[in-house]
Amino acid sequence: MESLEKEKIEAEASGTATVRREITLSTLRQAVLNGLDSSIKTEQFLLNMGPQHPSTHGVLRVLLDLDGERIKKAVPDLGYLHRGTEKIAEYRTYNQIIPLTDRLDYVSAMANNYAFVRAVEKLLQLKVPERAEYIRTIVAEMQRIVNHLFWLGTQALDIGAMSVFFYTFREREVLLDLFEKICGARLTTNYYRVGGVESDLTREVIDALYHFVDTFEPHIKEYNTLLETNRIWLARTKHIAVITGEDAVNFGLSGPTLRGSGVDYDLRKYEPYAAYDQIEWDVPVGQNGDIYDRYWIRVEEMRQSASMIRQCLDKLPEGPFMTEDHKVSFPPKGRVMHNMETLIHHFLLVVEGFRTPPGDTYCGTETPKGELGFYIVSDGSGKPYRMKIRAPSFISMGAFDHMSRGYMIADIVTIFGTYDIVMGECDR
Amino acid sequence: MHPVAESLHRRFPEVVTGSREALGDLTVYLRENGALEVFQALHDDPEFRYDYIVDVTSVDYPMDTDRFEVVYIFYSLSRRHRIMVKIRIPESHPVVDSIVSIWKGAEFMEREVYDMMGIQFRGHPDLRRILMPDDYDEGYPLRKDFPLVGKGWRDEFSFVPKYHENLPPLPKEAH
Q: Delimit the domains of chain A by residue range.
A: 73-427
Q: Is it the case that residue A375 has pLDDT exceeding 90?
A: yes
Helix residue ranges, H only, chain B: 3-11, 35-44, 106-117
B76 exposure class (CB count in 10 Å sphere: 0-12, 13-18, 19+): middle
Give the closest of B105, B129, B130 to A395, CB-based.
B105
How do residues A39-50 score in pLDDT, each as one tens digit? 556 677 888 887
> Which residue of chain A has the CA closest to B142?
A87
Nearest to A252 among B53, B59, B142 (CB): B53
| Residue in B59, B80, B108 closest to A398 by CB | B108
Q: Taking CB atoms and an 8 Å cutoff, what residues of chain B touch A91?
A: 148
Residue A62, strand partner residues: A49, A76
- Cα–Cα distances (Å) from A290 to A92, A154, A247, A251, A402, in that order, read 42, 18, 13, 16, 13
Q: pLDDT > 90: what percent of chain A?
A: 26
Q: Tell me: ipTM over 0.90.
A: no
Q: What is the pLDDT of residue B162?
A: 56
pTM of the model: 0.84
Question: What superfamily does domain B3-134 belong to in CATH?
Answer: NADH:ubiquinone oxidoreductase Nqo5 subunit (3.30.460.80)
Find chain B residues with C-beta within 8 A of A362's C-beta.
25, 54-55, 73, 82, 84
Nearest CB neighbour to A359, from listed B23, B129, B141: B23
Residues of chain A positioned with their CB less than 8 A from the CB of B133: 79
Q: Which residues of B touch A390 (CB under 8 A)?
A: 54-55, 73
Query: Does residue A225 register a pLDDT over 90?
Result: no
Alpha-carbon gap: B103 to the closest alpha carbon of chain A (Å): 5
Interface of B with A in 24-83 (CB under 8 A): 24-25, 51-55, 57, 59-60, 71, 73, 77, 80, 82
> Backbone phi, then psi, for A20, in 5-degree steps?
-60, -40
Q: Is the pLDDT of residue A317 over 80?
A: yes
Percent helix, strand, coil in chain B (nearest 5)?
20, 25, 55
CATH 3.40.50.970, domain A73-427, yes or no: no
Closest-CA distance, B175 to chain A, in angstroms, reads 40
- Residue ranges for chain B with pLDDT beneath 50: 167-168, 174-175
Q: CB within 8 A of B102, min separation 6: which ones?
A: B39, B40, B43
Residues from chain A contacting residue B141 (CB–CB below 8 Å):
84, 87
Average pLDDT over chain A, rounded to an integer: 85
pLDDT at B92: 87
Residues of A (232-261) whose Cβ lies below 8 Å from B: 247, 249-253
pLDDT in tens, A148-167: 999 998 888 888 888 888 99
Q: Among all residues of chain B, which has the CA nearest to that of A388?
A: B57
Q: According to the model, what pLDDT value does residue A390 have?
A: 92
Residue A116 reports pLDDT greater than 90: yes
- Chain B positions in Cβ-Cβ contact with residue A270 (cut-off 8 Å): 80
Nearest to A78 among B131, B141, B146 (CB): B131
Nearest to B51 among A84, A249, A271 (CB): A249
Q: Report the residue of chain A nearest B25, measured CA to CA.
A: A361
Among the partner-chain residues B59, B105, B132, the one whose CB lies closest to the CB of A251 is: B105
Is residue B28 a contact partner of residue B84, using CB atoms and an 8 Å limit? yes
What's the whole-number mean pLDDT along residues A179-204?
Answer: 89
Residues of B in contact with A125 (CB under 8 A): 23
Is residue A422 within 8 A of residue A101, CB to CB? The reply is no
Q: What is the pLDDT of residue A217?
A: 87
Each domain of chain B, given as residue ranges in start order, spans 3-134
Contact assignment for B82 to A362 by CB distance below 8 Å: yes
Give the tens place of pLDDT for each residue, A326-363.
788 888 888 888 888 888 888 888 888 888 899 899 99
Q: Could you give the C-alpha distances from A375 to A176, A191, B51, B122, B154, in angstroms and in order?
A: 30, 21, 20, 24, 31
Give B129's contacts in chain A (Cβ within 8 Å).
Answer: 79
Using alpha carbons only, give the angle B151, B157, B158 rounded to the nearest 5 degrees.
Answer: 110
Instruction: Say if the Cβ atoms of B73 and A91 lie within 8 Å.
Output: no
Note the pLDDT tens digit of each residue in A232-287: 888 888 888 889 888 999 999 998 999 989 898 999 988 888 889 889 899 999 88
pLDDT bin (cut points 50, 70, 90) of residue A20 is very low
